[in-house]
Amino acid sequence: MAYTTGVIFFALALLISVSLHEFGHLLTAKAFKIKATRYFVGFGPTIWSFQKGETEYGLKGIPLGGFVKIVGMTPEDEEEEALSESDKKRVFWRKPLWQRTIVLAAGSITHFILAFVILWTIVSFIGTPNPAAAQSYQESQDTATVGVSECLYPADADADYECTADDDSNPAYEAGMRDGDRIVSVGGESVGDWDGLLTAVTALEPEEPVDVVVERDGADVDLTVTPYTAKVEYADGKTEEVAKLGVTPYEDPDIPETVTSGPIQGIGDTATYTGDMFKNTFIALGQLPSKIPDLWNAIFGGERGDDTPVSVVGASRIGGELAERGLWVNFFMLLVVLNYFIGVFNLLPLLPLDGGHIAIAWFEKVRSWFAAKRGKPDPGRVDYYKLMPLTYVVLVVLGGFMLLTITADIVNPIRIFQ
């Protein structure tokens, strides 16, 4: 039930995000007295609507986005509409370039504002991962410093789990190993880091006692540990019984896992996080073409990489998994990342994206400026009809990519919890 609720909630959050994107276009258009006749959430048949002023607002039957009808986006659009003389002055393409740029960019800016507010709330009041805790955890791996619980935790145990009489005892704890011990050797094999420890333990026989040397308070301590038998399931479905000691990388209890910044410092910290997310977004956009073969292979039985793109379907499924486990910070962080990504993607200079319209508007301005400098007549507006073939190519590519990701998310979804 929690999973289904999370999926629905995440999909609804994305729908609201896209609806606000379109509302950003509408709000700025009205601010500049540009005529806007319709604003709808969804597509397809109209379920409900009302008229306020010159604009019809409503809800349609297919909740996969939304749209706003701004009159005269191009000269060609104006020719197709019967407008009064007063309305002809209010069409989009006749407005100053700076106003058109703001209206076109308003959708992406809305995504950025929404993501920033959510992220600021998390950073300021809820908490984000503590870099000091991450560094301490990494140092534990680099030195094979271990954490040892009194029992073997169940697979679904959370961070606050306490041992009960029903839990199996931990052989490492029973042998005398304690939190903060650094494992020096296992069965006579020297251990330098976590990878070395895994290699040494993997070679052991389950249920066979083994000599383990740990460093504690600057002195070596000799212990005898009896590894327990653990069943490991691999991605291909095969299982194997292996030996395990019952240790994990040490986490310093004095270092909190999360930190909050407060509302004032949170603004700067959120800006820093935002800069990192923008950087990662551009990296991800550059890598998109190289991920297409991975998506194709995943559809036909190949392993689905965690770094492959996801559709609304895949993102909602991940959101459901996070909600199911009560990981609401991660849930909203995923929403933040998607809003930044959608905002940046929408500004790419490709038709029919908003960035494509912005690029054409500025191209017209620059072309007119060069013509005036050379004493040539103004070449006027770009003929959008001539750009239709290129627009169709972009639509086919984007549509094919969307279909590919949706299919992969249905037949071979990314699962963050196995």
User: 136 near 371, Cβ under 8 Å?
Assistant: no
**Six-digit token pair at 399?**
């549509």
Q: From CA 245, how far away is CA 227, in angstroms rounded?
A: 5
Q: From CA 372, how far away is CA 299, in angstroms rounded?
A: 55
**Six-digit token pair at 369?**
């400026």
Q: From CA 314, how far away is CA 156, in angstroms rounded?
A: 23
Number of C-beta neighbours around residue 383 at 10 A: 11
Q: Which of 22, 139, 321, 324 is catalytic?
A: 22
Burial class (CB in 10 A: 0-12, 13-18, 19+), 1: exposed
DSSP per position, 324-378: HTT-HHHHHHHHHHHHHHHHHHHTSS-TTSHHHHHHHHHHHHHHHHHHHHTTPPP
Backbone angles phi, psi at 345, to 5 degrees: -60, -40
State whether residue 168 is helix, strand or coil. Answer: coil
Q: From CA 380, how far away is CA 132, in angstroms rounded?
A: 58
Q: From CA 222, how far away is CA 214, in angstroms rounded?
A: 7
**Six-digit token pair at 307?**
């770094």
233 catalytically annotated:
no
Cβ neighbours of residue 42 closer than 8 Å, sequence gap 6 or more? 59, 60, 61, 62, 63, 64, 65, 66
Q: From CA 369, how far away is CA 379, in angstroms rounded?
A: 10
User: 180 near 221, Cβ under 8 Å?
Assistant: no
Q: What amino acid is encoded at 98 in this protein?
A: W
Q: Is 380 left (phi over 0), alpha (psi -120 to 50) or beta?
A: left
Q: What amino acid is encoded at 315 in this protein?
A: A
Quick one: which of 316, 352, 320 has its CA closest to 64? 316
By annotation, the residues acting in catalysis are: 22
